[in-house]
Amino acid sequence: MPTTDTLTLPGIAGQRIVVTAGAAGIGLCIARQLKAQGARLAICDVDPGALDRAKAELDAELALPADVSDEAQMEDFFRQTADTLGGLDALVNNAGIAGPTGGVEDITPADWRRCLDICLTGQFLCAHFGVPLLKQAGGGAIVNMSSSAGRFGYAFRTPYSSAKWGVIGLTQSLAKELGPDNIRVNAILPGIIEGPRMENVIARRAEQKGVSHDEMKAEYIGQISLRRMTPPDDVADIVAFLISDAGRNLSGQSFPVDGNLETLG
């Protein structure tokens, strides 16, 4: 059950916030949580149908189809964000893809590049165009979406894991660079998240290992100390906390939201 009815955080009401890939999955949960706290939203996504549904549900002031790995599209999106919202107070770099599953000799260079372009370069581009707006606002917050794959090696998922490790480096570097401008930068590391994206990952890994989907899923859950997947709303709650005044002295940190994932196979 979503926690937006019970969680109230100081300082989010009235904030102008961008959520990338905000029309589905974790991004939509984050956007819902922030909207419930009174934020003004600008979202982008590559799925026009999901974007239309999310815009209607959230009453988002701006909802544009855009690919975070495309420089021109991101420049236009942040220009329109500034025009529509009048500025920017927080950026949630949520967009990402699962990338290919396979051995290093099987993954194509094109698939490698596409995964890094979206999962890592996309976050750089959003920061590149978003930070000037945050500085104009006198400071703010950036929350970058990494993953448990950003602290564990992840066999047969090397593009994804490499990108998510890169997000940690981006986060710590930007926290140092932007701290004097009163901009806080943190990363979230979701673990095994409930939903269709993880089910697809499990299915591909099960096929590769020659086991059933249920066996593969049990193997993943067995790596979690709490022995359960994480609902996406739990991730949204932590994102909201970091953007709120309650997180005003948190920067340069990486926060796992994973039930204590012990390893990642």
Catalytic hit among 124, 160, 165, 255: 160
What is the token pair recorded at 192? 């095994």
Q: Write the DSSP assignment of 188-235 as a string of letters.
A: EEE-SBSSHHHHHHHHHHHHHHT--HHHHHHHHHTTBTT-SPBPHHHH
Q: Write the DSSP assignment of 123-160 as a string of letters.
A: HHHHHHHHHHHHHHTT-EEEEEE--GGGTS--TT-HHH
Non-local (6+) Cβ contacts of 72 within 8 A are none
- The angle subtended at Cα 167 by Cα 50 and Cα 159, nearest 5°, is 80
- Give the Cα separation of 83 and 104 in Å (integer): 44
Taking the CA atoms of residue 123, residue 128, residue 133 and residue 134 in that order, the dihedral angle to the nearest 10 degrees is 60
E strand or H helix that includes residue 92: strand 90-93
Contact 118, 96 (CB under 8 A): yes
Burial class (CB in 10 A: 0-12, 13-18, 19+), 112: middle
160 is known as an active-site residue: yes
Q: Rg of the chain's alpha carbons, rounded to an integer?
A: 18
Q: Which residues are catalytic?
A: 160
